[in-house]
Structure 1
Amino acid sequence: MLWPFGTTWRPVRQKRRATVDLRWLSARTWTRRWYPQGIDLGLWHGRRTLAVSWFRQRLDGHHLASRVAFVDLERSRHLDVLLAIDEGGELQPAPIHAGGLAWFDDRLFVAATGRGIWEFDLADIRRVRGAEARRIAGASGRGLRASALVAVRTRVHPIELRCSYLGRVFDDDGTPLRRVLIGEYTKDDAGRIAEFTVPDADDDDFREESRFTPGITQMQGAARWGDRHFVSQSDGMRPGALWTGSRDALVRDRVPLPVGCEDLALDLDAKLLWSLGEHPWKRVVRGIPFHSLGLDG
């Protein structure tokens, strides 16, 4: 299948048993240079699509680039879009961890740890080639990258929190709201989560509506459906934990999350809670059925 610009979609393996598991059929299953982080869902040219953010680093930890893989959930294919910033007319790789995503129509909001929320325009995706493509991808040398698709940052939204992750908010009846949860990853239990209204106009900022401290260490993602909150908690090389309930009474669910779990995304159409694991050889994008979580959907 070809995208309108002619870019070939790459295969993803999909298995449906107790969960829906997507696994990468390439070196991205084990590489230590690219790490998956954020996740959300949206419509890509009218098709239900999962967005997964990645950051690229050198083996010494120096950040090089970021991208988003858009996964066609019906055909189990994906394509990559690099994230870039415009510096004086020259595109440079977006230097962000991309720990969470919130996808509203053509607006993609990305958590930029310690530097607010960055907004990218999916309606103005560009094709770059040659040296420019390799630079935005963080690739050194001549390489083999002939061209790439790029989304360019349109705005930085300042947020007082650390902005480690970013998740969507839904009303009781499943209606998506123009709100997000923004939270902090900390190794102690002092990490905060705040709910914000997403601005409609370009000249408006995120407006904070509420804030709380769940008292959970190593939080990696959060989402809300009605009064029920969902929070992911990583635990090194062990399966992650899912906490659910009202914000003042979160309880650890018996259903585990992937090893090295990261962000969360609610899929009310398919009745799935999506998460993903970041560690090499254990990387999976997992959809957990609502019925496994005791949800009616």
Structure 2
Amino acid sequence: MDSMLWPFGTTWRPVRQKRRDTVDLRWLSARSWTPRWYPQGIDLGTWRGRRTVAVSWFRQDATRRHLASRVSFIDLERSRHLDILLAVDEGELAPAPIHAGGLAWFEDRLFVAATGKGIWEFDLAGIRRVRGSLARRLAGSAGRGWPTTALVAVRRRVHPIDLRCSYLGRVFDTEGEPLRRVLIGEYRTDENGSIGEFTLPDDADSSFREEDRFSPGIRSMQGAVRWGDRYFVSQSARMRPGVLWSGGRKALERDPEPLPVGCEDLALDLDERMLWSLGEHPWRRVVRGIPFARLGIDDRPPERS
């Protein structure tokens, strides 16, 4: 790993952080409005010993053809972000052709929802630096100029899953300990989308193991996470604020707290007692942390039955 990647490498760029009723992170660049890159997935982890939010993006051209995918790591203390391009290596490096609709971050393993293509696992321990035409190609940029150098995480493995794999979220037990499990769900415009819970593969010879599956009857689901018996599910509503559903799997209720316009994935931050989401639409893009107090959540979820 390049020693300049943390904490003050030349590829770090600022974001604006505003703390009031919620924690709002906004991009101080063209990525706040560009129709080329769209933010999708979110999770939290530790990068070089610091609390970090990871946000996935996909890039498309005017015909909506996929060009590239990346993950932005945001240092929550210093309000700066670092971009990591996602790539596949099949004899030569090429952009990862995935929507990147959700993230689950486990140490040096980054799992990414690849809509219709299972779950893709990327290696954060072997991040590479590339330059010149290769950097531009992996970023989906045909012209000269940015980027002249880029950081790249390469796909380690494809995990086939019997779901559409639109989004991906973490699972925590009643005491708030992270489990080696994820929720994988389907975005559908009808009410038939399913959410499955899977145990992570331990090694290269094992596969995701399905533990549970249910259909909450919610249209346009964009993300799901679980803490004890409490589920959180995000629902997009085009250009209106997103809707948060929470509660037991058979008794999800609409929360009065709105999610960002064009809401996407969800992530739980139990250390700071916060639920994170993000909005994808140009000019309305925000990465938002909502304190549990605004959601009417006390320090403990319901006991498991």
Range class of TM-score, shorter chain: over 0.9
- State the aligned residue count: 296
User: Displacement of 1:201 after TM fit?
Assistant: 1.1
Q: Is the CA contact 1:2–1:9 (under 8 Å) kept in the aligned structure 2?
A: no
Q: Which moved more, 1:7-16 or 1:212-221?
A: 7-16
Q: Is the CA contact 1:262–1:275 (under 8 Å) kept in the aligned structure 2?
A: yes
Amino acid at match of 2:60: Q
- Is the aligned partner of 1:39 residue 2:52? no
- Is the aligned partner of 1:271 residue 2:273? yes
Amino acid at match of 1:153: R
User: Displacement of 1:2 after TM fit?
Assistant: 4.7
Question: Following the alignment from structure 1 to structure 2, what is the Cα–Cα distance between the partners of residues 191 and 138?
Answer: 31
- Is the aligned partner of 1:19 residue 2:32? no
Amino acid at match of 1:258: P
2:183 alignment partner, one of 161, 181, 196: 181
1:137 alignment partner, one of 139, 155, 178: 139
Question: Following the alignment from structure 1 to structure 2, what is the Cα–Cα distance between the partners of residues 18 and 60?
Answer: 39
- Is the aligned partner of 1:84 residue 2:87? yes
The CA deviation string for residues 197-254 of structure 1, in whole angstroms up to 9 with x for no partner, is 0111111110000000000000000000000000000000000000000011100000
- Is the aligned partner of 1:71 residue 2:74? yes
Query: SS state of the match for residue 138, structure 1?
Result: coil
Q: What's the counterpart of residue 163 of structure 1?
A: 165
Q: TM-score, normalised by structure 1?
A: 0.98
2:52 alignment partner, one of 32, 49, 52: 49
Identity of aligned residues (%): 76
Query: SS state of the match for residue 263, structure 1?
Result: strand
Question: Following the alignment from structure 2 to structure 1, what is the Cα–Cα distance between the partners of residues 289 and 153?
Answer: 26
Q: What's the counterpart of residue 302 of structure 2?
A: none
Q: What's the counterpart of residue 296 of structure 2?
A: 294
Amino acid at match of 2:234: S
Q: What's the counterpart of residue 214 of structure 2?
A: 212
Query: SS state of the match for residue 133, structure 2?
Result: helix
2:174 alignment partner, one of 172, 175, 179: 172
User: Displacement of 1:60 after TM fit?
Assistant: 1.4
Question: Following the alignment from structure 2 to structure 1, what is the Cα–Cα distance between the partners of residues 10 and 87?
Answer: 18
Amino acid at match of 2:84: V
Question: Following the alignment from structure 2 to structure 1, what is the Cα–Cα distance between the partners of residues 226 and 146?
Answer: 42
User: Displacement of 1:144 after TM fit?
Assistant: 3.1
Q: What's the counterpart of residue 240 of structure 2?
A: 238
Question: Following the alignment from structure 1 to structure 2, what is the Cα–Cα distance between the partners of residues 2 and 15?
Answer: 27
Q: TM-score, normalised by structure 2?
A: 0.95
Question: Following the alignment from structure 2 to structure 1, what is the Cα–Cα distance between the partners of residues 206 and 50?
Answer: 30
Structure 2 unaligned regions, length at least 5? 300-305
Q: Is the CA contact 1:36–1:278 (under 8 Å) kept in the aligned structure 2?
A: yes
2:95 alignment partner, one of 88, 93, 96: 93
